[in-house]
Amino acid sequence: MDIINERKERVKWFRNDRFGMFVHWGLYSIIGRGEWVMSTERIPLEKYVPYAKEFNPVNYDPSYWAKMAKKAGMKYVILTAKHHDGYCLFDSKLTDYTSMTSCDRDLVREFVEAVRTEGLKVGLYYSLIDWHHPDYPKYNDINHPMRGNEAFKDEVIDFNNYLRYMHGQVKELVTNYGKLDILWFDYAYENLRGEAWKATELVQMVRKHQPHVLIDNRLETSGEGFGSIVTADPAYFCGDFASPEQIIPPEGIRNVFGDPVPWELCTTINNNWGYNSTDPHYKSASLLIRKLVECVSKGGNMLLNIGPDGNGRVDAKSIQVLEEIAVWMERNSASIHGCDNAGIPKPEWGRYTKKGNKLYAHVFEAPIGPLALTGINKDSILSVRRLADGSEIKRGESWVTNEYKDIPFVCLGELPHFSYPLPDDTDTVLEITLKD
């Protein structure tokens, strides 16, 4: 239970902030076919490593990324310091496969400084997987580019040597870049779970240097599972939050006692994490806003990913989507930041979020006639206003509501028995102040 209680303290800011930016960016961005391209196309090291000589991101501007995130109402930003291909965006003394060798720049240092300057919290992603290291499993591994390659069938590796390397790099990240707010590991699979990574030793080392940093649950699992964080006996390395990937849990996430577990949806702005020049399937700002609301209404966060190109540029469509989110958040962020599950059944027209005595009705669908505020005691309502402009929303009880005496109604126009379009088709937020 000490693990759970300690976690409750660490995650307070996380559960308040609710919205963050993920940035997948690295050597694979030059190729432009996603972050898994080395594996999916089974590219051998001798053909992949030369891309490092080309990596010179002249348009890399983490200050611009941070400003975009802040404007969109995001409160933290996480960068892939090292992805599965093993290439490091930081100054590692344990390998020369780094941006320091490629372009004489510590890109992680530039990132953390830029994000802190904007007053945002800093996170770093670190892959437990490494397709570049000679002592990482190959032939029998399900992910390695050389899986099933007969040339590696009888190769003898020293996995403990890899673990020393991996632990050493994590130590570099937690000791050389100041205070980190999130350390995002990725990911455990098959037999490489938990103590296979020497997870207890790893987390002990991290906590020694960064006692308040949040750690995800992926030392035990991947985006498809939760691990022991939801059990009665969570492991020391279970993490501070669950990390469902590309799916919103139907009812949020709770442990075996029924208590809410901190969680964060990680999702892409199109269908790829890393830059993919042929992926046009961008999610609309409207959809992402509604899904952010859904996450918060279920007690969760949203981590929204962008994938800049090899030069460091963010594509125009991603910028457009983020700018549209920013317009909505500028007026409605009070219904997101600091909010949680309202403890009220989901209404047919949208969702509720709650903060203190403020209940936020997120109206996605216009009603016929007045809007029924289902799940709320009508005598508990002090006032109703539109959050975006503070305008008063009139009560909507009238002759058309006579058969529904226990349900409070509000009128979205002048007359309760008339029907009116929503002021904001994406999400019209009503701020309902409840009596103390």
pLDDT along the chain (436 residues), means of 10: 85 98 98 98 98 97 98 98 98 98 98 98 98 98 98 97 98 98 97 98 98 98 95 96 98 95 98 97 98 98 98 98 98 98 97 98 98 97 98 96 97 96 98 96
State residue 2's pLDDT score. 82
Q: Would you say the C-alpha torsion 263, 314, 277, 329 has a positive or negative sign?
A: positive
State residue 1's pLDDT score. 54
State residue 5's pLDDT score. 87
322 touches 292 (CB < 8 A): no
Number of helices (H) and strands (E), helices first, in the chain? 13, 14
Q: Would you say the C-alpha torsion 128, 131, 134, 137 has a positive or negative sign?
A: positive
Residue with tokens 């046009």: 280
CA dist., res. 155 & res. 239, Å (int): 34
CATH number of the 2-335 domain: 3.20.20.80
Beta-sheet pairing, 350-355 with 76-82: unpaired
Domain locations in the chain as residue ranges: 2-335, 350-434
* Both structure tokens of 335: 């219904």
State residue 39's pLDDT score. 98
State residue 143's pLDDT score. 98
CA dist., res. 417 & res. 397, Å (int): 9
CA dist., res. 21 & res. 77, Å (int): 5
Regarding the domain delimited by 350-434, which CATH topology (the fold level of the hierarchy) does it fall under?
A: Immunoglobulin-like (2.60.40)
326 touches 73 (CB < 8 A): yes
The DSSP-derived string for 210-237 is -TT-EEBSTTT--TT--GGGGSSS--TT
* Both structure tokens of 17: 């902030």
